[in-house]
Each structure stands twice: as structure tokens, then as C-alpha cells.
Amino acid sequence: MSAQTITVEAVRPDLWPRVQQVFGEKGDPAGCWCQWFKLTGARFRELTVDERSQSLRQRIGQDPAPGVLAWLDGEPAGWAAVEPFSRYPGLARSPITKRTADDPADPWAVTCFVVRADARRRGVAGALLAGAVDFAVQHGATVIEGYPVDTAVRPSLTAAERYHGTVSLFEDAGFRIVRRPSTIRAIMRLERAEGARRLEG
């Protein structure tokens, strides 16, 4: 089998059709369009699926972009959302991710992963996380956070339940656990200096 090639880049308005391919037409990604953390709970429920889709499309035109897109052998394969914490109202309202007194006020946050079913278990999620870290550092991030699930605690978690990413995925990227707000969830953090060393390596 020939070696596969995975590349990651910041999403752009002209890549919208590729984003649509990644999110698909069925399942949780196609219903949420990565808007759960971007809106209040009431506003999220008010919007139709098409309106959520258009909300993401409009945000892709912002600077910085709201995420990165992965390509596997030239085909769109995955998406990761990454922006400053302050751009995610849903993070502030969640008992899992709300700020504590010792937390940095506005880290960058990697909140969501979408990988096409036919591209799973091929390194796409790891490449997306690396690309998200690179993107955040390039835009001045001093701290980057993730809020993954721990599949070592609960191996039965479905692919849909792993959309935050997994603890092992973030550990492999150099993130450390700073606390556990629940049995299966962790707050993980990468300092910019650590990220810079990782990029250089």
C-alpha cells in the first residue's frame, strides 16, 4: 500500500464546498455544523440545520478563520474548530469548561473534530490537532486548550461521542491534563513555549 499524504490548512470561503463534503448530510456534524459552542443554547435550538450551516459559512469569512481543514491524498477528510475561548459562548456556560480562578482568561480552544468515516484511523485527527496548534500559534496564541474525552476510562464511547477529541490524542500532541471536571472529561493545556518547541521539532 502506498504511503498516504495528509495536509492541513486554514479554512477559506472558497473551500466551503469541501467543508460541506466533510460534514456530510447525515449524523451529528450535519445537524450541528460546529455551532453548539458558538451560540447560546436557546439560539442554537431556534436555528434550522440550514441556518446553522450558513452560520458556519459566514464565520469562515472572518479573520482569523474558525478552523482548519484536512486533506487525505488530495480529498477533504476532516475539520477541527479552533478559536479563542471568548468566541465560544457555549464554553463559558458549560460546567465542564467554564473558567475557574486559576485559568487563563482567554486561551485558544480546540473544541471539535469531524473526520469522514472513510478517513478514520488513518491519522487525520492527529494531523488536524497539529494544524490547529500551528494555526493558533501563528495568530499569537499564548495558551491552547482542549476538552477531550478519556477513552481509557470508557472505551465504549462512540465516534459521535468523541467529537471533542480524546485524551490520548491531545497527550500525543504535548498537551497536559490540568484538571478533570468529570469522570471521562479532561481539561488539557499546551503552553505557547511548548507549542513553539513542538513546531520546531
Is the separation of the CB atoms in 62 and 40 below 8 Å?
no
Task: Place 196 in a pLDDT band, splitting at 50, 70 and 90.
Answer: very low
Q: What is the pLDDT of residues 29-66, one digit of tens each?
A: 999 999 999 988 889 999 999 999 999 999 998 899 99
Q: Is residue 148 part of a domain?
A: yes
pLDDT at 197: 43
Q: What is the pLDDT of residues 97-128, one digit of tens each?
A: 999 999 998 999 999 999 998 999 999 999 99
pLDDT at 124: 96
CATH number of domain containing 168? 3.40.630.30
Number of domains in the chain: 1
Instruction: Output the nine-digit C-alpha cell for 137.
Output: 500559534
Average pLDDT over residues 147-167: 90
DSSP calls for 44-71: HHHS-HHHHHHHHHHHHTSSS-SEEEEE
- Phi and psi of 82, rounded to 5°? -150, 120
Which residues, other chains included, contact 190 with Cβ-Cβ below 8 Å and sequence gap of 6+?
A: 133, 143, 144, 145, 173, 174, 175, 176, 198
- Phi and psi of 180, rounded to 5°? -125, 100
pLDDT at 143 over 80: yes
Q: Is residue 1 part of a domain?
A: no
Range of the domain at 17: 6-200
pLDDT at 3: 63
Say how many C-beta atoms besides its own lie within 10 A of residue 73's C-beta.
13
Instruction: Output the nine-digit C-alpha cell for 163.
Output: 467529537
